[in-house]
Structure 1
């Protein structure tokens, strides 16, 4: 039977986890062959998660007294204001809201440099680390192929760090899209199934950038740049030893432009 075409409603249902299993399998097959669509789904999922996080404090607030059913019934029994007054009030509220939102967008800082890399790494960890079916595209046995793949797409030699001394084995890697170009993602795990993600991509500015800690939801990471190549190692927020491991990677990883 011919597969049904993928449409916008399907995409939104996938992001909202509303697809039935059969349709979900069709969509996953479609995304596997369409990296642009896959990147869009990831961005929508990240946006949805960020919106839920931003409005969580509001949802936890008690219902305002003015929304109490008794108050609403009482208000309905009061004489109504002229229609023009209600219209004017609605217009003022709308203009005020739009102005506030525009000002918010104008004043909100846009991440750049290592801060942008940190945000991208946290998003990649949230998307791929929980994936139990296909977290990577090339497995650990293709280590040399991963290095060649990343080097070709990042236009510079790239190493695949060995973290076995710290108890983490390489699971594999994949390329991911970011607003600043392609990035290489490596995934590692230990004997308990704890996963780490390392994201690397070329930076707009050459040279080095000091390491900084970043947090996103239930994950924490450390991001830095070395010789114009950015790195971020991300793991669970309660994971001990992540900072020393990131320092060791920074110390031992060689880069060449």
Structure 2
């Protein structure tokens, strides 16, 4: 009896929980679940053979590989350099630090089409940077990775920064007083604290990159079977009024994203459980 009362008090400790929880579920249903369910409803008008033929078309399969592959690589790059940037901004005082900190958020505010045009101009064969390379950067998967890295960087930096701010320097000093080197302190003390934030930043950057269209469509070149991303195929089908085909491919992207993010969250849960136990 006492245990049930404690559980009831624990779940209703915030006044108005039932009301706020109801509004939360209603809001999420209208903003997230309802639009996603319409994708599935539109696809139900297709037969299984038509659905399978649409999602397994060689052009679509090539776009899956390109979209997921470049988003994954861009996410890994952002985890490394984003963590480094967050470390510098938190741990060091230098002139212009606030300006650099503000520049990190620029990809959030910059229209994606503007970013795509700027990157294409910069890395084109006759561009300011592209002219110094013997190989092409624009209109290749490498150019797509650069664009996705650009738009995904703030997610990692802003996720890791609060964790670094809350890290106690006394723990690092205690580690050094016990004879640990800087590398050992970083690997044994600091890195375990950063892992959850780094994984969260990676998942956010990966998700953002996977659905990116505006900044990629210019630098990709959009060559079928080579540099054509899945969002472009979806847009092409929409322009051709093939709404059912567009939603069919969207389901593949949605399912793949959900499975990958679920796996990432599972890894994060295992790491948190291992760290706190």
Please state which band the TM-score falls in when normalised by the shorter chain: under 0.3
TM-score, length basis structure 1: 0.27
**Larger helix fraction of residues:** 2
TM-score, length basis structure 2: 0.25
**Larger strand fraction of residues:** 1
